[in-house]
Structure 1
């Protein structure tokens, strides 16, 4: 997985993944945090663990959300992580 602050696990053709990318892109543009997208189908280990749960969002390496990303909750998680 990427070492960006926010990482999204997605797969091609997933409408929920497209929605999650839009939320993460907008929030990280406002906060200045790094983010990346990893395709679960490109990594057998990720596919085995997360195949039925995409999109999966991680903040600072910790699972943050599955299926849906709430903008306010993501913003709070990023803010809380940068405070410590």
Structure 2
């Protein structure tokens, strides 16, 4: 099984993370892609790096978005 192309960095009890997860899940399902999630609160380095920007989305190892996920922009990144 291949690695997910999309990674969502977030934290529990984050409404923006919940919104991002919903959008990411829908776009990935539509395109046959997978995604994974990382709880930044389990890693002090990630917590320091992303604490003010969650949710943060990476596509193919590069930062794609933070705070909000635009479904069209995400779709374009996965197709392009």
TM normalised by structure 1 equals: 0.90
Aligned residue-pair number: 78
Residue in 2 that maps onto 1:69: 69
Q: Normalized per residue, which structure has more helix?
A: 1
* Structure-2 separation of matches of 1:76 and 1:62: 14
Do structure 1's residue 15 and structure 2's residue 15 form an aligned pair?
Answer: yes
Alpha-carbon offset, residue 77 of structure 1: 0.2
* Structure-2 separation of matches of 1:57 and 1:24: 9
Alpha-carbon offset, residue 4 of structure 1: 1.8
* Structure-1 separation of matches of 2:43 and 2:32: 28
Q: What stretches of structure 1 move > 4 A for 4+ residues in a row?
A: none
Q: Secondary structure of the equivalent of 2:52? A: helix
TM normalised by structure 2 equals: 0.94
